[in-house]
Structure 1
Amino acid sequence: MFTAEDPIVGIDLDDCRDPDTGDVDDDAQDIIDRLDSYTEISPSGTGYHVLINGDLPEGRNRRGHIELYDTARFFTVTGNRVDDTSGHVKRRQDALEAIHREYVQLHSEKFEPERDEHTSVRDDAKTTPTISLEDDELLKKAKNASNGPKFERLWNGNTAGYDSNSEADMALCCLLAFWTGGDTTQMDTLFRQSGLLRAKWDEVHYADGSTYGEKTIDRAIEATSEYYDPSPRNESTQSKLETGPETTVVDTDEPGRRNAYLLEKNQLLSTRVSELEATIEQKDERIAALERQVEDLSAEPSGQSDEDDREQGQRTGGTEDNSEALLKSY
């Protein structure tokens, strides 16, 4: 049972393993590899339990078949440890935060983009709006939006700031879901034109026969609660979105764009600060361990010196006894 007093976090991965063949879904394998801690097969045989030492990040703790717990939850322990995984529960704070951000928290209520007159909320996660934007027009709008620099970096294949290529793929697909209204065909077509495309995109990585690309698109649509609405509700805003780099217009909504930029920048900085704090904590633990090791090593020469003194005393005492014997003989 997880409690507030212990440092253990449990990651529950459901419906990701074929109990007959042992085949593992790509997402589950990615999480297991990155956490690199004690992992065992769940009682049903269709999932995994991973145990680590760490602090569960704030926000939601579950999405789809992935759940994370650190208190008020029971795990049935099978002892059926996965081959080639650690036999110890390790501290994995950085990996936990990255996985939480990528698989659970990404585009949740805490990270929703700034809304304007061209943003609509999708009430039903199973339906998406109809947006008829040609690829070139969509790319132009995406690059000129408040988070355009982020889109363009990902579009060009730049994964800086992401812990893995998979996380960068997911981030770009979430942006594409917003601009296409969740059109899976157009999302796939556009992603294949991006610098992030890899051979892995078309590889089958899931027990249901889905490819890595198909599952990434499905997850992105599920994670996206807002989409671009092309209906022109504000003339100045419409002009702003359609303005190219060589056109000058009076931007009456610049404060809103500025706020969106600052909000996103603050979120990225907060995430980076959290990662650095976790790194500092790990380094402090390492320094403390090294200081203890230094103390132990410092104590060893002292003990050896005492032993040497005793041996020297014995040798000196022996010499004095011999001297007295010689004097008596004279």
Structure 2
Amino acid sequence: MEVSTVNRGVEPDAIPAALREYPQWVCWRAKERDGKLTKIPIDPQTGSFASVSDPDTWALYEVALGAAEAEDGLGFVFTEDDPFVGVDLDDCREDGELTDWAADIVDRLDSYTEVSPSGTGVHVLIEGMIPSTKSRSGSVECYDSNRFFTMTGDHVDETPTGIEERQDAFAPVYDQYVYGDDERSTEGRAQERRTSSTPTSLSDAELIEKATNAKNGAKFERLWNGSTAGYESQSEADMALCCLLAFWTGNDETQMDRLFSDSGLYREKWDEVHYSDGSTYGEQTVANAVQVSNETYERETDEADVAGSGSPVSVSNQEATMLRERVDLLRGRVDSLERELARTRDEIAGLRQSQQGLTEHSRREPVSGAPVEPASVRLSSRLQRLIQVFR
């Protein structure tokens, strides 16, 4: 995403009050990398680099707003603990007007929308959650955790001034512009879900046995036992298990909720109200899994086919879905590692400059007082974490 080198400033009065209540604010600075400009998160309290995974580098809105005057702008970090989703539409404004596809998304989401720092895109903020692990396609990106969005307060006219709960509207938008393939319409995929949404009447014990012995049984077993390995957040693991449960239960939301509550992934958050319509995190996760579930288990299917030896319809489609999910997860992990490595390179450059400055200062004036933890120690710790991730 191209970043303007011009500081467009921030219109603080336009930024929704609901967002300002969260202490998840950073600043950002434009940096050139490989001939392209990108946005680097900055800790408002120290002026050093911030991380979307380190709350110690975030600040209150008022603190970040004051610090943003000396930086290129203001940013908000999305986490699992807030109800917000940010939808980023790139290269969608021409002469101040939205392109047709962007206008369709903005109109359907009908929530707070602002112009991005470059002036060529917009950000839409809603209350909700992403239905699956895929977060981007083409010029559309959406994030609800482990990401920061620049905030300008440059409100788009005729859109709400507040952040609205829009899960029902977001699911088909996500399905059409991010998750689904272009050859099938959103209506067509919705029809497929409706025709396959028939409870299987498997008992809980039968379902667990069949799911564990199926071709992707190892994945089901890991998730069922509470493992989040391979997922950037537990919410992604929750969604993955719910998608599997949607297949085996025939999209029976009651049975899905009951089974998930017996799994190792269950936590108190599952039953907590997270949305303005009174729905819980668990209810919405189940509903989202049903929304993206295109295939369900058929009880009369031959046992050998379900176990992995040949169902020509259900198993092949399920395998395709699994493959897409794995590719998306791997792509997300690669992107995350690239961002982390880029931040580390910048810290190395900053460390070298600081060491040069300290060396020159020590020549002129002896250093007194308590010893300070060397920046090299902190940098070494981060590099060790990166090595563990690569392994």
TM-score (norm 1): 0.53
Maintained 8 Å contact 2:24/2:76: no
- Partner-residue secondary structure (3-state), 1:227: coil
Aligned residue-pair number = 241
1:4 aligns with 2:2: yes
Counting strand residues as a fraction of each chain, which structure ranks higher?
Answer: 2
Q: How far apart are the structure 2 equivalents of 1:68 and 1:174?
A: 33
Tell me the equivalent position of 1:295. Answer: 356
Q: How far apart are the structure 1 equivalents of 2:244 and 2:25?
A: 27
Residues 171 and 57 of structure 1: CA distance in aligned 2, closer, same or farther (over 3 Å) = farther
Tell me the equivalent position of 1:207. Answer: 276
Q: How far apart are the structure 1 equivalents of 2:113 and 2:214?
A: 34
Q: How far apart are the structure 2 equivalents of 1:165 and 1:182?
A: 22
Residues 69 and 216 of structure 1: CA distance in aligned 2, closer, same or farther (over 3 Å) = farther
What amino acid does structure 1 have at the position aligned with 2:353? R
The equivalent position to 2:212 in structure 1, one of 136, 139, 143, is: 143
Residues 187 and 252 of structure 1: CA distance in aligned 2, closer, same or farther (over 3 Å) = closer
Maintained 8 Å contact 1:151/1:172: yes
Residues 96 and 216 of structure 1: CA distance in aligned 2, closer, same or farther (over 3 Å) = same
- Partner-residue secondary structure (3-state), 1:205: coil
Maintained 8 Å contact 1:142/1:179: yes
Deviation at 1:284, TM superposition (A): 0.7
Tell me the equivalent position of 2:146. Answer: 95
The equivalent position to 1:271 in structure 2, one of 332, 335, 355, is: 332
Deviations 1:3-37 (A, max 9, x none): 822399xxxxxxxx9x8xx7x9xxx9799896865
Residues 188 and 31 of structure 1: CA distance in aligned 2, closer, same or farther (over 3 Å) = farther
What amino acid does structure 1 have at the position aligned with 2:2? A
Q: How far apart are the structure 2 equivalents of 1:39 and 1:170?
A: 30
Deviations 1:226-274 (A, max 9, x none): 12141767x6xx523147xxxxxxx357996988776655444333222
Deviations 1:147-168 (A, max 9, x none): 3222211111112233333332
Maintained 8 Å contact 2:225/2:263: yes
Q: How far apart are the structure 2 equivalents of 1:67 and 1:185?
A: 35
Q: How far apart are the structure 2 equivalents of 1:252 and 1:216?
A: 31
Unaligned runs of 5+ in 1: 9-16, 42-49, 77-91, 98-102, 114-119, 244-250, 306-330
Tell me the equivalent position of 1:123. Answer: 191
Maintained 8 Å contact 2:270/2:281: yes
Q: How far apart are the structure 2 equivalents of 1:296 and 1:57?
A: 42
Unaligned runs of 5+ in 2: 8-15, 27-51, 63-73, 78-87, 91-100, 125-142, 149-169, 182-187, 367-391
Tell me the equivalent position of 1:47. Answer: none
Deviation at 1:194, TM superposition (A): 0.9
Q: How far apart are the structure 2 equivalents of 1:145 and 1:69?
A: 48
Deviation at 1:183, TM superposition (A): 1.5
What amino acid does structure 2 have at the position aligned with 1:288? A
Maintained 8 Å contact 2:246/2:296: no
Q: Which has the higher contact order (CA 8 A, sep 6+)?
A: 1
Maintained 8 Å contact 2:246/2:293: no
What amino acid does structure 2 have at the position aligned with 1:157? G
1:166 aligns with 2:235: yes
Residues 240 and 125 of structure 1: CA distance in aligned 2, closer, same or farther (over 3 Å) = closer
What amino acid does structure 1 have at the position aligned with 2:267? R
- Partner-residue secondary structure (3-state), 1:51: strand
Q: How far apart are the structure 1 equivalents of 2:112 and 2:224?
A: 28
Q: How far apart are the structure 1 equivalents of 2:283 and 2:23?
A: 16
Deviation at 1:280, TM superposition (A): 0.7
Question: What does residue range 4-83 of structure 1 map to in structure 2 within 5 Å?
Answer: 4-6=2-4, 51=75, 72-73=120-121
Q: RMSD of aligned C-alpha atoms?
A: 5.2
Deviations 1:258-317 (A, max 9, x none): 887766554443332222111111111111110110121222245569xxxxxxxxxxxx
Question: What does residue range 183-198 of structure 1 map to in structure 2 within 5 Å?
Answer: 183-198=252-267
Q: How far apart are the structure 2 equivalents of 1:128 and 1:181?
A: 7
Deviations 1:94-135 (A, max 9, x none): 8129xxxxx99998887779xxxxxx9542667762132312
Deviations 1:63-121 (A, max 9, x none): 96798985634579xxxxxxxxxxxxxxx9x8129xxxxx99998887779xxxxxx95
Tell me the equivalent position of 1:155. Answer: 224
What amino acid does structure 1 have at the position aligned with 2:198? T
Tell me the equivalent position of 1:308. Answer: none
TM-score (norm 2): 0.46
Q: How far apart are the structure 1 equivalents of 2:297 and 2:22?
A: 37
Deviation at 1:192, TM superposition (A): 1.7
Tell me the equivalent position of 2:304. Answer: 239
Higher CA-based Rg: 1
1:226 aligns with 2:291: no
What amino acid does structure 2 have at the position aligned with 1:154? L
What amino acid does structure 2 have at the position aligned with 1:133? S
